[in-house]
A and B are shown apart, each in its own frame.
Chain A
Amino acid sequence: MTITRAPIELAPAERAVRLIGGDLTEKSLRLHLEGLPGIDAVGLEQRAASLGTRSIKTTSKAWALDRIISLIDLTTLEGADSPGKVRSLVAKAITPDAGDPSTPRVAAVCVYGDMVPYAVDALGGLHGDPDAGGISVAAVATAFPSGRASLAVKLADTADAIAAGADEIDMVIDRGAYLSGRYGLVFDQIVAVKEACRRADGTSAHLKVILETGELTTYDNVRRASWLAILAGADFIKTSTGKVAPAATLPVTLLMLGVVRDWHRLTGERIGVKPAGGIRTSKDAIKYLVTVAETVGEEWLTPHLFRFGASSLLNDVLLQRQKLTTGHYSGPDYVTMD
């Protein structure tokens, strides 16, 4: 007896159609993803550890610290977030170190969707593209952090944030669907959210796709999910929500950077990477900069291709920056709470 099942057709996302072909089905997507080369976990972790031993000193360190600040998505994602808290976060984003006006600004503030209007308002004239000196507003959407809601709710969540002025949408994938092998569902949802990122004037908010690597568990899953997200139209692939441990790790980020490098080799197109959660010290953040520069090239170290999703990282970088300028370590009382 043979069971015949109609092929499940997928939304014709441009990249996937170009790479896999016009008759895009769940099966053709699966064949593509499962044909990707495997990852050797030991080797990947060794390579990440070896990149972590680079010794970044003096002028290189000064450059790195400033660059880290300009790549930060300064984040608050708490149930207790309020307009006041968001205004305070924005103030910090604009003036990270009140004692040193030469300190660069962060790339974006990242908040829940209902906080977007307050962030936009607090930024005022500074609201804009970080590559042009502005600060963007990123909103987490699609039933963040679990992603457990109907597609209609996820799309409404996204549309709300866009309408309120969000420049970037950080969506989560449906990890349950991914782990049970329903790649098509995950794919179609990303395509739909990407569509919802479109504004009335034809422009589009940037879409960051959060894989929640801590729940995908294996490196092979992370690689496949990264390709899936890119094929579906992601502008950025992002490691984590910050709500699940482990969040960003250096090996996972190295792996995702490898995917982005391979995609660039294949298509000439540049995709961004955002490690988020768990990066708290300058020392750690510098390891990420080294990994980016030595894996995809330093042209990736710009806000539209690399971001840190972090909150406490900024203050540690400011302390290190003060140490470089003054030669003395200060303490937490010399940087502001946000």
Chain B
Amino acid sequence: MTSFLDYAPAPESTAILALKPSYGLFINGEFVDGHGDGFTTISPSTEKRIADIASANSADVDLAVAAARRAHDRTWSKLSGADRGKYLFRIARLVQERARELAVAESLDNGKPIREARDVDVPLVAAWFFYYAGWADKLDYAGLGTNPRSLGVAAQVIPWNFPLLMLAWKIAPALAAGNTVVIKPAETTPLTALIFAEILQQADLPAGVVNIITGAGETGELLVNHPDVDKVAFTGSTAVGKAIARSTAGSGKKITLELGGKAANIVFDDAPIDQAIEGIVNGIFFNQGHVCCAGSRLLVQENIHDDVVERLKARLSTLRLGDPLDKNTDIGAINSREQLDRIRDLSDIGESEGADRWTADCAIPENGFWFAPTIFTNVSTSHRIARDEVFGPVLSVLTFRTPAEAVAKANNTPYGLSAGIWSSNGSRILAVADRLRAGVIWANTFNQFDPASPFGGYKESGYGREGGRHGLAAYLSEAAPAARQAVTSKGATK
């Protein structure tokens, strides 16, 4: 054996998967054929086909929305909160029971390391359903007065970076609040949503409460612009988010958008340095940097810049890139060729604009889409790699001298989703956090998610909040005054 660190392969078996060769659309509780041009989903680490996937055309979208409308009006909105909660608890438990299967499918289809799918994605999915299951019979306490009402049919479009987790973020609060759902997973990562459809069948969820339709951007466009939709929830790029905001303006649809980010991770010279290095790594290299709240701009105090960069390089050299299903893999595959091209382009631009590029020395597999962890030093605030969202394992390092400069540089972006602060000085953390214009601020940690905590952005990072009580409010409207009176006289029916 040449080196202990060349750990012997420890692949998670795919034998646990019972995949079908092809999947239809999940409408009204059943899998049905799609009428658009179907496509295949591949594993980004091998480029091998996983399954054929149906595509929903406009007639299919009509069917799905009609099924959701029927389910809302006849069944779901009429159930008591406690009964809706029972279904959500059941779904949460089934997710836990099938956790390994879901983790393997997610890793296979998305390219993310099994370690992350297993330890982060799937446990959070279950946690989200458990959390909102608890809310279902307590809506009177959501801050919207007694007896708030569901909105109706929610059209939800989710991205490919956390396919199942984003599905949970969308479906769990919508269902708890009494809405029904038509959801479209991303084109490159439909697999776990379709396995989730099987879980819904297993849970005996009433037909039409959740409809899952697959397809490309066009399908999503048809869905969010459907006239019988009451609520649109979108997570994805800022460009598409803007298009949705334009096309739905004046329609009366309630909208939440969770879009891009270019988060600053601010490291002061009194930071717990070893943990800060871990936090920087976790901030930008978690999930190959395919994270909207990734800490892609490292703002480090000038007097510790060299030390931090040296430690960071040493740490990155221990990251293991390769087979996502290997339990020891830290960096998996880039989700698609398209995304890989974008990361390459922006990195090349970074170099040509004069920043210094450093890439961890790791062997790149022959097939599939890969990008080694990369950091740019000598980055100026005007460089594109310091402004554009790369959505890949690329970190830009900038410096600051005073807290005021750190805040100014951190806020100098059209985005405002998240930020990180590293310091041993508690009052400094609070003072800086107060002045950062970002929806989520982590202190001495990064990329921590909890269903009880609201998540969402400022500025071009979108609007509305997901998670916590705030996330529930996005799927409810205040009871009409008349209805309120009626409730007061008769007493709550929940």
Contacts and interface: CB of A to CB of B under 8 A. Distances in A.
Given A47-B274, A60-B6, 18 more contacts: A37-B270, A37-B274, A37-B424, A40-B444, A43-B278, A46-B278, A53-B327, A55-B7, A57-B7, A57-B8, A57-B9, A57-B10, A59-B1, A67-B4, A255-B274, A293-B4, A294-B318, A298-B5
B115 A44 contact: no
B270 A54 contact: no
Contacts of A294: 5, 318
Contacts of A59: 1, 8
A41 to B, nearest CB: 9
A43 B444 contact: yes
A64 interface: yes
Interface in A93-140: none
A255 B7 CA distance: 23
Contact of B424 (A38, A47, A58, A255): A38
B200 to A, nearest CB: 31
Contacts of B7: 54-57, 60
Contact of B272 (A43, A56, A289): A43
A46 B5 CA distance: 21
Interface string A43-80: 11011000001111111110110010000000000000
Query: Chain B interface secondary structure, helix, strand, loop or mixed?
Result: loop
A60 B275 contact: no
A103 B385 CA distance: 55
B272 A38 contact: yes
Contacts of A54: 7, 327-328
Nearest to A219: B272
Interface of A: 37-40, 42-44, 46-47, 53-61, 63-64, 67, 255, 258, 289, 293-294, 298, 301
Contacts of A46: 278
- Majority DSSP secondary structure for residues of A touching B: helix
Nearest to A64: B4
A114 B216 CA distance: 78
B445 interface: yes
Given A39-B274, A47-B275, A60-B4, A53 B444 contact: no
B405 interface: no
Given A43-B444, A43-B445, A294-B318, A58 B272 contact: no
25 contacts: A37-B424, A38-B424, A39-B272, A39-B275, A40-B424, A43-B278, A43-B445, A44-B275, A46-B278, A47-B274, A47-B275, A47-B278, A55-B327, A56-B8, A56-B10, A57-B7, A57-B8, A57-B9, A57-B10, A58-B8, A59-B8, A60-B7, A61-B8, A255-B274, A298-B4
Interface string B307-333: 000000000001000000001100000
B438 to A, nearest CB: 20
Interface string B269-290: 0111111001100000000000
